[in-house]
Structure 1
């Protein structure tokens, strides 16, 4: 087992996370803290880190050092980005940090910063071709990703803090100042040939990006309290941009979803994104809650577990299995058997239900996680499983797909309209989605019932269809007692007929 601390000292804030890698190589976050220190404040004018900024950073880092001592953490990955990288006194400040706290912080290049952001995204968002940008306080890192591999990466020295100071965008916005700001942004971006008219999806990392996502969620009454993999259409972004540039600092602080500590720098940060939209001609921004820190972790984790470096081919399977391994008392043989039967039922009935690979993926994920609610309590564990799946760190799904997966698992003991009404996110799936959820949860319920005794007696499943009747043949281990499974599966025949408009007969072989 290892406890790993990660410190990311940026231009605007310092972030501290603690992640545990268990003996079975599963990982989970134990602690996280963030402090806004404005280390890059005044850097664009003086070229140096200010005394006040460094003092705020020292106070914060001494707290983090104490936390590592209390938590008995011996491995710390600590990096500094653009503010320290560009400051004349950056190296001197890092020497002071080491002397006073014992924490060794590495200055990373813009290219490495871009690569770590890429690792954080490619392991958590299922896209293969996109433009990635990491917008910080003193720089923005841009990468072109093709077939999941970094094709090009560049760092340009414009960020939300430095642009705000240079063009005086903190309070009431002078149009001339904003125009000069966007002119400079376009100048830097025009020198990047692969950006123009790329029409590739945009994925954004950083506090400005997340804050814009929060603002959009508040404005649209979005029901999920989650930013990672949230889609912000260009039209709605431009409405937010118009709002922030037309308000004073005092009034920007009142905008729902906008952090008060970012109200002064949001205009400059949003201007960078506006220029990216214009240049790439893309129409949607995907917000990544994961970036540099997660990239540092995945890089370390792949070494620790002797895995292939870079990215995982199936991030959904990897993350769902990782989540399972963080829980106690999971019967993995039962999980595997339910998944096997569920998958077989889906494939055999494909001509009946008409669903494809996407729905199959959601169903198998629901099957793998269907029993996790038992860690809360056995009674009503299906509903508990739905809640946990809806909030788990599952990657490779859109936010809507994750809720649909949660709903499928939530009804593996039978469909209850009362549960549908009570589920907090029941309005996220459409009526068409709910039809699919009911059908797929019926298949999962049948698979769960087939292994109700946890004896794994079902070896194979086959079927024949005649007229309006489906004959399901379950081949079992020699001498298996099938009465319990037969009883449980028969309780679901009425539900099956309601959802599929066909009669199901069971034959044990």
Structure 2
């Protein structure tokens, strides 16, 4: 019997013509959890002179059109199924913006949507919603030409505003005077309605230059993860950092500046200036950096409502499970198996604990192809640095530790890196050990094959936990299975035994 080949998903691309950069991002498909297969940008500086001349600079236009020709050629080579194109502040504000867009459309072969300020703000907010679990606060998207501000709460979006405070626009308008730039920013932000709603909530920082600030902060603070998305700084620390960065840039003594693209370096001080004044006016509790923004919001808005309602972390874990595990169905069965264990063992779980456990179940077999001596460390690295959203850094560390313990066990010689354990509380580390022990039992019993775990169940009497095997599986019982289950029960504060029926 010949099996039909699975229908190939249609890839989707976004061409993003920003005031500073022109970018092409290609995703595997339009999905709740986007998988990036290609990402390239050209720092063209289209908005470099719009405030002072009202025009896109000729050299920037030439550079942008050259980049777009390459992007169109790449789209053909990659056989991309859908192409969407957007343009932001520089193109909507410049007198020759329409002429440039006409030339760009002829090159790209698609219609380019020139986003209004309000639509850009809304798409930025939707991008944050797609990549942050239950966000609550204020989104600020800082581009080269403008700053968009808009409130978010769960999946609800407020009314956004746009201000001409992009890094390039501010540099141009102030004629490179930081004192003049500070006055411009203060005047624009004082009395801002969205900022008034930011007090004691998160401020979600979106945009390439703010990401550059986050990269510098990570480098200089020695933070454990180099993951930008979800990186969080208390507002007071962010304010001190922004002020210090401005002083060091002015003095030419900023360390690690070489890690930032050369074209972005002059803009850092303006991004820091805007962030400083936002913190002073809005008084947020923390700054959360988001790599999800307008492009992701554009695609998220195209999804049917049931898809948008899905948990992005679980969708990302399901994708990794399908791509890397020996049996995708086994991982789904493992979720039900650990659900039963938690219920019978009367373990306490919050809603967030439960979703992290389910995601870890889906990723529990992703390291099977790696050499046995390195599975723990390799999967730890894969999960902590995974290109997915809807989870904070603490949650990443918990999932990674759970799967690490599944592979490495609990000997003193195989302890996980202290840098990763430092990201979680002692209680979370204990839960990760417990879940890792459950994975060690489940995968030993089933060899990661489907249909086995549903034929076992748990029983509890007093302080004793029992793992019961159906009669057809009795030959799977062995001393090693028994010892691992006893270890699991001990971590749950119980004694444990195996029963055959």
- Structure-1-length-normalised TM-score: 0.88
In the alignment, the residues of structure 2 paired with residue 355 and residue 47 of structure 1 have an alpha-carbon distance, to the nearest angstrom, of 57
Q: 2:189 aligns with which of 180, 183, 186?
A: 186
Report what 1:246 is aligned to.
Answer: 247
- On the 8 A contact 2:345/2:460 being kept in 1, the answer is no
Trace 1:49-60 onto structure 2 (pairs within 5 A). 49-60=56-67
Is the deviation greater in 409-418 or in 283-292?
409-418
Report what 1:441 is aligned to.
Answer: 436
Report what 2:468 is aligned to.
Answer: 474
Q: Write the deviation string for residues 274-329 of structure 1: whole angstroms up to 9, x where unpaired.
A: 222122221211000111111223334x2xxxx3178334222222123323x156
Q: Does structure 1 residue 373 correspond to structure 2 residue 370?
A: no
- On the 8 A contact 1:65/1:103 being kept in 2, the answer is no
In the alignment, the residues of structure 1 paired with residue 378 and residue 33 of structure 2 have an alpha-carbon distance, to the nearest angstrom, of 22
In the alignment, the residues of structure 2 paired with residue 88 and residue 453 of structure 1 have an alpha-carbon distance, to the nearest angstrom, of 62
Residues 183, 194 of structure 1: CA spacing in aligned structure 2 closer, same or farther, 3 A cutoff?
A: closer
Is the deviation greater in 455-464 or in 109-118?
455-464
In the alignment, the residues of structure 2 paired with residue 426 and residue 92 of structure 1 have an alpha-carbon distance, to the nearest angstrom, of 55
| Aligned-pair CA distance for 1:12 | 0.7
Residues 334, 247 of structure 1: CA spacing in aligned structure 2 closer, same or farther, 3 A cutoff?
A: closer
| Aligned-pair CA distance for 1:6 | 1.1
In the alignment, the residues of structure 1 paired with residue 32 and residue 306 of structure 2 have an alpha-carbon distance, to the nearest angstrom, of 16
| Aligned-pair CA distance for 1:64 | 1.1
Trace 1:14-413 onto structure 2 (pairs within 5 A). 14-21=22-29, 28-169=35-176, 173=178, 175=179, 177-187=180-190, 190-192=191-193, 195=196, 198-248=199-249, 251=252, 254-256=255-257, 258-300=260-302, 302=303, 307-308=304-305, 311-325=308-322, 327=323, 330-351=326-347, 354-376=348-370, 381=375, 383-413=377-407
In the alignment, the residues of structure 1 paired with residue 456 and residue 364 of structure 2 have an alpha-carbon distance, to the nearest angstrom, of 21
Q: Which runs of 5+ in 2 are unaligned?
A: 1-8
2:406 is paired with a residue whose SS is coil
1:344 is paired with a residue whose SS is helix
| Aligned-pair CA distance for 1:334 | 1.4
In the alignment, the residues of structure 2 paired with residue 299 and residue 243 of structure 1 have an alpha-carbon distance, to the nearest angstrom, of 39
Residues 10, 221 of structure 1: CA spacing in aligned structure 2 closer, same or farther, 3 A cutoff?
A: same
Q: 1:8 aligns with which of 16, 32, 36?
A: 16
2:481 is paired with a residue whose SS is helix
Q: Which runs of 5+ in 1 are unaligned?
A: none
| C-alpha RMSD of the superposition | 2.8
Q: Write the deviation string for residues 440-474 of structure 1: whole angstroms up to 9, x where unpaired.
A: 222232333343473425346232233xx413142
| Aligned-pair CA distance for 1:255 | 4.3
In the alignment, the residues of structure 2 paired with residue 442 and residue 25 of structure 1 have an alpha-carbon distance, to the nearest angstrom, of 31
Report what 1:491 is aligned to.
Answer: 483
| Aligned-pair CA distance for 1:116 | 1.7
In the alignment, the residues of structure 1 paired with residue 416 and residue 72 of structure 2 have an alpha-carbon distance, to the nearest angstrom, of 47
Q: How many residues are treated as equivalent by the alignment?
A: 490
In the alignment, the residues of structure 2 paired with residue 453 and residue 272 of structure 1 have an alpha-carbon distance, to the nearest angstrom, of 52
In the alignment, the residues of structure 2 paired with residue 20 and residue 480 of structure 1 have an alpha-carbon distance, to the nearest angstrom, of 42
1:246 is paired with a residue whose SS is helix
- On the 8 A contact 2:334/2:442 being kept in 1, the answer is yes
- On the 8 A contact 1:449/1:485 being kept in 2, the answer is no
- On the 8 A contact 2:324/2:367 being kept in 1, the answer is no
Is the deviation greater in 355-364 or in 276-285?
355-364
- On the 8 A contact 2:229/2:389 being kept in 1, the answer is no
In the alignment, the residues of structure 2 paired with residue 470 and residue 214 of structure 1 have an alpha-carbon distance, to the nearest angstrom, of 50
Q: Write the deviation string for residues 366-422 of structure 1: whole angstroms up to 9, x where unpaired.
A: 112100112445775455433322222343221121111111012225324333256
Is the deviation greater in 261-270 or in 279-288?
261-270
Is the deviation greater in 89-98 or in 357-366?
357-366
